Amino acid sequence: MILTTTNSIENHNIIDYLGIVTGVVINKEAISMGFSMSKYYTKLQNNIETVKEEAFQSLQNNAAKLKANAVVGIKIEIELTASNYAMVSVTGTAVKVAV
């Protein structure tokens, strides 16, 4: 599946717009701040990377349910909730492109 932040795909024609799809994932592990800020930032970075990959997988699964072979106009939002849970939301437009 082609994923892009742009609204078009070079050398591919969009045949049909199938709808908006999302992938939202919240890390189940709260990030606690200890005495070492370095360890906190490293753990935060690793958690966000993990959650981001899961969110993109969810986005692709939701696009596949619409029979899409690409998602364009992807936007990524990363938040740290009040309870220190990392949350990533990925949104885009599922499309069918000529291959």
pLDDT tens, position by position, 28-72: 776 666 677 888 788 888 888 999 999 999 999 999 999 999 999
Q: How far apart are CA 2 and CA 20, in angstroms?
A: 15
Tokens of 45: 């970075």
Q: Residue 44: its pLDDT value, please?
A: 81
Q: Residue 33: its pLDDT value, please?
A: 65
Is the pLDDT assigned to residue 83 strictly greater than 80?
no
Q: Torsions phi, psi of 27, nearest 5?
A: -65, 135
Contact 86, 40 (CB under 8 A): no
Measuring CA to CA, how many Å separate 5 from each of 27, 30, 62, 91?
24, 29, 17, 10
Contact 92, 25 (CB under 8 A): no
